[in-house]
């Protein structure tokens, strides 16, 4: 009897953990979803304010993703998203927080990184994309637009504000405005 009750309790705990994981991650890519990202980013903001170490927030959009879906089908589009998630995981550290927050929009929070390392990370991302595309049999070339914001613990803000600023920078980059950074 006790054994059965214990088994039931363990199974309920496992199911709760599985549901929690599903509510925080993107089913297709395995990355965090917006909810999971925001929860972890809010914790990181508190930690950054205590330790006085900032971080970088990358807001990344896959250019012309709709055209890939329309031309090659949603199955191919899904493969592109999964492959791009792998590229992000190769580019950023395991301790960094990576998420898919929209259809073709991703964010990466590079913990304890300074603004000067943003170009290094963008170069690494670009190189990893080139390597991945060289192995691919697909005829299309994937490109991105990225907006980068620095979190300064001496001037804290909420994660939503940081996301909005990074998103605006990403769109400025996409439009090729002066002062924007190409990816």
Question: DSSP string covering 137-183, please?
Answer: --S----EEEEEEEE-TTS---HHHHHHHHHHHHHHHHHT-TT----
Q: Under a CB-based contact definition with an 8 Å cutoff, are residues 156 and 45 in contact?
A: yes
Token representation of residue 55 = 């971080």
Q: What is the rounded CA–CA span in Å between residue 151 and residue 68?
A: 34
Domain ranges of the chain: 25-179
Q: Are residues 99 and 32 in contact, defined by beta-carbon separation less than 8 angstroms? A: yes
* Highest CATH level, class, for 25-179: alpha beta
* pLDDT digits 0-9 by tens, 22-70: 579 999 999 999 999 999 999 999 999 999 999 999 999 999 999 999 9
Higher pLDDT, 9 or 144: 144
Q: Is 104 a catalytic residue?
A: yes
Give the DSSP H or E segment for 67. helix 65-72
The pLDDT tens digits for 149-167 are: 999 999 999 999 999 999 9
pLDDT value of position 3 = 74
**Percent of the chain at pLDDT exceeding 90:** 71
Which among 26, 96, 104, 167 is annotated as catalytic? 104
Question: pLDDT tens, 107-121?
Answer: 999 998 877 789 999
Is the pLDDT confidence value at 171 over 60? yes
pLDDT at 182 over 50: no
CA-to-CA distance for 5 and 169, rounded, in angstroms? 55
The pTM for the full model equals: 0.85
Is 137 a residue whose pLDDT tops 70? Answer: no
């Amino acid at each position: 009897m006790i054994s059965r009750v214990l088994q039931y309790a363990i199974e309920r705990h496992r199911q709760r953990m599985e549901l929690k994981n599903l509510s925080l991650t993107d089913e297709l890519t395995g990355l965090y979803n917006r909810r999971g990202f925001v929860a972890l980013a809010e914790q990181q903001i508190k930690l950054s304010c205590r330790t006085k170490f900032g971080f970088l927030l990358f807001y990344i959009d896959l250019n012309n993703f709709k055209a890939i879906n329309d031309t090659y089908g949603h199955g191919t589009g899904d493969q592109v998203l999964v492959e791009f998630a792998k590229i992000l995981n190769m580019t950023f550290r395991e301790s960094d927080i990576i998420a898919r927050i929209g259809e073709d929009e991703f964010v990466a929070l590079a913990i304890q990184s300074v603004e000067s390392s943003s170009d290094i990370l963008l170069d690494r991302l670009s190189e990893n994309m080139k390597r991945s595309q060289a192995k691919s049999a697909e005829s299309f070339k994937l490109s991105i637009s990225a907006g980068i914001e620095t979190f300064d613990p001496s001037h804290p803000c909420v994660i939503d504000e940081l996301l909005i600023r990074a998103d605006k920078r990403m769109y400025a980059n996409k439009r090729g405005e002066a002062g924007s950074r190409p990816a």
